[in-house]
Structure 1
Amino acid sequence: MNTPEPPQAVWRKSTYSGGVENECVEVADLKSHVGVRDSKDPAGGHLTLTRQDFADLLSQLRS
């Protein structure tokens, strides 16, 4: 789901991003959701996940 970004969203580089500078994922705390976007294209939109879906995604990426 791609929803409008709240004006108070603060994006930060995810600790799960790769070590290469052009492979960065940024995340933002959107209250009950988590925003995920490509740092190379911040104006290109973002993916909005529930906190549970975000946790599930991280679990899948770890395995």
Structure 2
Amino acid sequence: MRKTLLKIKESSDLFVKTFILYVMGVLLVPTRRDDISLSLVYAVTDVADIPKKNWAASMNW
């Protein structure tokens, strides 16, 4: 049971990270290239910190 719950938590975190990166790459910081800045990846490394970030501030995370 514990392994299953951990898998669900990991899958949920992965979904949240992927969704946030998608939204940032498409809506907030669109570029003509298919890659994204490492600063955006670092911004979503900890899912618990995502709601605490000031997403309207400059990209100096």
TM-score by length of 2: 0.33
Q: Point out which structure has higher relative CO (alpha carbons under 8 A, 6+ apart).
A: 2
Q: Larger Rg: 1 or 2?
A: 2
